[in-house]
Structure 1
C-alpha cells in the first residue's frame, strides 16, 4: 500500500515545476557504507520523503509517510539501505554497480517541496602496486662503466579508476631521461653509473585510496651486464673450442682407420707364412 502511495506521490511531484539543480558528487568505497545527505534547511519540517535511484527506470528505494519509514523490498539495495533520522539515505556494503544518480523529494508540513540530486561513484580501493624492471639487451654489449636503459612497469592487482604516477628519490622526474608509456604504467629510464643508488617510486591512486612501491633499478642493469659478459665469453669459447674439437675428432677417426689397416696387413702376412710352412715336404 505504501509503495503504491509513493509511486503516486512521485508522479505528482514530478509534475511540479522545479529549478535546475546541479548534482552533488559523492564517493564511496566497495564494501563500506556511504551517507547521501538530505541537507535540510533549519526551518524545514518534513512531512513526506521519497528517495529514488535513477536508472533506465526510476526505482523508489525508500519512503517516509505519516511517520512511517519503508524501504522497498524489490530494490537493488534491499537490506543494505536505511533512511536515517535526518532523512539522509545510508547504503552499506557498497558494490561497484551501486554507482548512479539518487534523487530525494522532500515535502514540508506547509506543502513546500525540496529536491536533492546526488551522483554516487563507487570505487574499489587500490592494492599495493608491483614494479617489474626490464633491462633489454644492447648491441654492442653493455660494458662496465657505461649507462643502461631500463623499463619499469607498475600495476596494482585491485582498484578501479586507477591512475599511476612516478617519482625519483622522493622528487620529480627530470626532463630528457624519462619517457612515460601506456598511460603512465610504464616508465622508460636511461641510467648512468652515478644512478646506482637512485630509487624510483610508483604510486597507484584513485579518488578514495593510494598505495606506493619503490625499487632501485640499477641492480637490473648490473645483472644484465653479468649476463651479457657470460654470453660473450660463451660465444668466444664456442668459436675457439668447436673447431678444435672437430680437428681432434678427425685425427682420432684417422688413427682408428690406420690402426685397422695395419692390423689387417699383419694378420694377412701371418696367414701366408703359415700356409707356406704347411706346403713344404716332410
Structure 2
C-alpha cells in the first residue's frame, strides 16, 4: 500500500499527449451535432479554444475562466453553442460543414491538450425511385423482371432489397447486380402478391420504396412494345404524306392564285411557239 501511494504523485504528474486525433462525428444536413471536449481527471480547465481547421482556420468559440464566447465572424456564426462542459454544438448543419475541428484546453497549471475531431455531414436520403423492366413475360404463368433502384445526387449510398412479409428475406446474391442497385426476380402465377422493398441508406438516414413486380408483368402483357408501334406507325405516315403530295399536284387550276399560275403557263407557251 505504501509503494502504491508513492507512485500516485508520479501518475498525476505524467505529461498528457500534445494532441489526440481520429475522433469521428457524423451529422445530417439540417440537424445538429455535439463535438465533445475530452477532459482528463485532474485537468482543471482554465481556457478552451474551438477552431475550424478546413477549408480555412477559423475561431469558433472560447471559454476563459468560465466566460463563454461564440460571437466570432466565421462561417458558423449564429450556428454554434458552447456548453458548460466545453462541448461545442453545431447546427443547423449545411452540406459544406464537413471538415476537421480542434479544441485547445489549457489547465490552471499551464498544461495544454489539443483534441482534433472529424465531422462528416451527409444529406438525408430521399425516397428511392424503382423501375420494373420485364425480361420475359408468358402470362398468366411466368414472368422474369429486373427491378432497378435509384437515388439521384446522393453520395455514400448503400442499396439493399427486402422481401416484404418474410422473416427470411430470400434475396440471393446471384440475383443482385451493380452493387445491389438491380434485383432480378422470377415470378409465377402464385407470386402475384409478392412485394419487394428497395432500402437505400447512408450512415445517418435511410428510406425505402415498395414495388409489386407482377402488376408490371400483367400490365406489359397486353401492350405492344414501342418498337412494334414504330414499325406500324412510321410506314402509314409515309404513305399518307406521299398520297397528299400526289393529290396536290393533280388538282386542276382553280382560284385566284392557281389562275395566275395557269396564265403564266399559257404565256410561256405563247412566247415559245413550236417550230
Q: Specify the TM-score bucket, using the shorter chain as the normaliser.
A: 0.5 to 0.7
**Structure 2: where are the runs of 5+ without partners?**
1-14, 233-275
Match of 1:164 in 2: 159
Match of 1:153 among 142, 148, 168: 148
**Shift of residue 30, structure 1, vs aligned partner:** 1.1
Q: Call closer, same or farther: CA 1:38–1:94 in 2, change over 3 Å.
A: same
- Rounded Cα–Cα distance in structure 2 between residues aligned with 1:144 and 1:60: 68
Match of 1:216 among 212, 216, 223: 212
**Shift of residue 40, structure 1, vs aligned partner:** 1.6
**Shift of residue 174, structure 1, vs aligned partner:** 4.3
Match of 1:225 among 221, 224, 233: 221
**Structure 1: where are the runs of 5+ without partners?**
1-15, 239-282
Q: Call closer, same or farther: CA 1:214–1:77 in 2, change over 3 Å.
A: same
Normalising by structure 1, we get a TM-score of 0.66
**Shift of residue 172, structure 1, vs aligned partner:** 3.0
| Equivalent residues, number | 214
In the alignment, structure 1 residue 198 sits paired with structure 2 residue 194: yes
Could you tell me whether the CA contact under 8 Å between 2:55 and 2:99 is conserved in 1? no
Match of 1:135 in 2: 134
- Which protein shows a greater Rg? 1
- Rounded Cα–Cα distance in structure 2 between residues aligned with 1:43 and 1:28: 31
- CA offset digits 1:107-163 (Å, max 9, x no partner): 011112222211111112212223221225x5xxx4334432212122346755321
Q: Call closer, same or farther: CA 1:56–1:20 in 2, change over 3 Å.
A: same
Could you tell me whether the CA contact under 8 Å between 1:177 and 1:189 is conserved in 2? no
**Shift of residue 176, structure 1, vs aligned partner:** 7.6
- Rounded Cα–Cα distance in structure 2 between residues aligned with 1:132 and 1:168: 16
Normalising by structure 2, we get a TM-score of 0.67
Match of 1:118 in 2: 117
Instruction: Quote the RMSD (CA, aligned, Å).
Output: 3.0
